[in-house]
Structure formats: structure tokens, C-alpha cells
Structure 1
Amino acid sequence: MPIEPAPTQWHLDLGQAKTGEDLVGVGADLEPGTLLAAYRSGIFPMGLGLRGGGTLGWWSPDPRGILRPRDVRVSRSLRKSHARFDFSVDSAFDQVVAACAAPDRDGRWITPEIARAYAELHRLGWAHSVETWRDGELVGGLYGVAIGGLFAGESMFHRATDASKAALVHLVSLVSDTHGLIDVQWRTEHLASLGITEVRRTAYLELLSQALTEPLPSAFAGQPR
């Protein structure tokens, strides 16, 4: 089971957040206890500067993009693609993060500091990756943070058509034995066809509260590294 880190020194909550505003705070740090406190409060980090650099921002989108496992939609073409891939969990975490942070990606925001912070969360058993393989080659994947029935997705990548979508479909199969919640932060057209919906922050926090009481899916309950 995951190792609980030392508690954060920061007070993280959404008591002063305004309806419709996504950015809810700045500063603090990326210590494991801070990150976990943020996710448990409905908040996640992303830098405010170019390509995620500069001052650290803390975000709670309103509305919030989510996927309930029971709502996933898999098209016929994606089902065919999914059958051609192989999948694993936590076998290439650093590679997945590096691919998500690749310099040639539009909108990239994962800095070396972010990568190191999530590597430490992975070592403690909180951050996880889902890998998509074809003929032994890593062609897609995603990573995020699992707390109880919450999987807070951080980023995904693909090097083959449908490889990232297939990773998300596989993730759904891993959490379907819980009344879980997959947080995708913002709804995008790339993901909308899979059943991602938007909810107001107040509704998200209610769903989050329930998800945190659910058991951790067995796929993410292995020994910390």
C-alpha cells in the first residue's frame, strides 16, 4: 500500500475560490504531502510561466472534466485499435512522464521539477502509469495520482493512432470495480468522444468526497518502490 508522507505545511482549500475561476492559488511547494493534500482538496499544480515554468500555480477548474467509469464510450474503431495493443501498469513510469514532457509537444507544461515530484510520489506508491505497447515498443500511455477511488490524470501521450485513448480505456477497466472517479482536469475534443463530461466545482467536490472513501483499485495497491 502507498506510504503516507509527512503532512504539508501549507493550508490548501477552496474556501476563497470564485465560481468560474480555474486558478485558485500560487506558490507553496511540490513536496509529497503538499501534492496529496491538494488532490484530496480538488486542486492540482501547474506552473504559470512559459511551458510550465516560473511561479507554481494551483488549479481547480470550474467546470471540471471528469469520466465516471460507467460512462465510458468506446467506438467500434477504438475497440479494434484497443485489441491490437498490449498494456501494463507502472512498468515504465519515468518513460511515460518523459514522453508527456517531450520538448516538441504543443502546450507542454511538465518541467523537470514536476517530473521529479511525481517520480517521488510514484516511489511512495501514489503516482501510477498505464502503458500502451505495440510489438514491444512503448507507443502511448498516461500517468496520474490514485487516492482511494480517485484517479487524477495528469497527462497522456501517443506515438500511434488511438494509443493514448486505448490507455484511458484500459485505465477504466482497472478502476471499474470501485465507484471511482477519473479526473481529466479539462474536457478536450480529443477525449470528449470517450464520455468525458463537465461538472461544476461544487459537484466535483461532492464526487471527490465519495471517491476518496472508496478502496484503492488492486492494480495500484502494490508495494511502493
Structure 2
Amino acid sequence: MEQRRKFIRLAVDATVSYKLQDSGNSPAVAELQDISISGVRMVGDKPLVKGALLDIVLRIPGLKEEIKVKGVLKWQRNLGMQIYDTGVEFTQIDDSGKALIVEFIKGNVGMVEDRREFVRCKLNAVIGYRLYDDLSSEVKYCESVDVSASGLKLVIKEEMEKGTKLRVSFKLPDEDGEIIALCTIVAWSQAKTDGAHEAGIEFLEISPEDQIKVGKYVKRNFGIMD
């Protein structure tokens, strides 16, 4: 289970019912917050003890069947007003349930329809960048926060105006060669409290091969492959 905890979770608006294993109590209902093939995060009104063993039923919009799993409570945080944020790791899930979760995640790794944005995963990498229209300009470096098939989120020292075009290069973990985006555009930028800036950049010109590499990296971090 140690390896599974590395999988990134996908935000989802759904409900989950659960009860203590071998308990005759009626199931409690909570709001499902996110899901991966290794577990769920949910918010409800019942305090639970770390290590509690749970029988869980997931009801996810768009999936034709309920998913029944067993899990163990890994952590719980009191948000106040008797509301509890809860993390559960699956201990038992059958192949059909796992396949349904993978199907749901695959359907949302691309465009998430209700948010109009691409699913992102964490990426800690050094990013080289320079102004698009000035090839003689100095190559500067910053750090990435996350990546999607459509772009990057960066932490950068200088303020970037929205609409600024950049050339960027970076490496993905466990991949040979650099990802080269010949043209990107700054979609947004905001100041941080430490004086640095966060910026979101969108890929405008990137080779199909490099885009496939980025897509595969994101999928690997969700625990799925084509």
C-alpha cells in the first residue's frame, strides 16, 4: 500500500455511504471530495478513530454501478461545527470496482467538462525560459508546481504580464531528453507573500511527441496507463 499512496487523487462531486466493519449500525453518508485507485477523501459529520475499518459504497455520477470497497481510516481532521475531513485507504476492492474507478479517472484526465480545465499533477522541475520574440535574450530559470497536457504552473521571481509569450524547456522525471515548448503564453500571474510570483502558462506550440510524453506522465501519476 505504500506505493499506492503516491497516486494523485481526482476531485469529484459525489456521495459515499460507510459504516464500521462488522457493525449493525445504519450506514452514514458523507460527501466524496476526491478519489484515486488507492483511496478516497470524504467530508462528513461523524468522528472516527484512526485505523477504523470501514465498509464503503461509492456512488459516482456517470458510472453505471455502485462501487463497494473495504478501507482503513488513515487520518481525520476536525473542520469545526462537527464537520470532519477524512482520508481512507482501500484495503479490499475487486477487479470490477477498480476498473470502474480507472474508467472514471481516464474520462477526466483530459478535459474536465464542468471546470473547462485540464487535470494537473504535481511536477517539481527546473524550467528554462526566455522571451519568444527575442532569441538573443538571456535564458532564465524558475521552478514548476504542476503540469497538465495544456500547460504549466510556475513559481517565478519576476512579474509576468498576461499574454507574454515565452519559449520554455524542462525535463520530466524518468524521461530522456527535454520537453520543448516553442511557444507558450502567460494565462495568469499573481504575487505571492514572499515576493515571488505564481504564473500559469499555456502551451501554444509543442510537438505531438512531447505532448504525448506530458500526457503519459500525468496518467502515470493517476496510476493508469493507456
The alignment's TM-score, normalised by the length of structure 2, stands at 0.23
Structure with the bigger RCO (C-alpha within 8 Å, sep 6+) is: 1
The alignment's TM-score, normalised by the length of structure 1, stands at 0.23
Bigger Rg over Cα: 2
Higher strand proportion (structure 1 or 2): 2
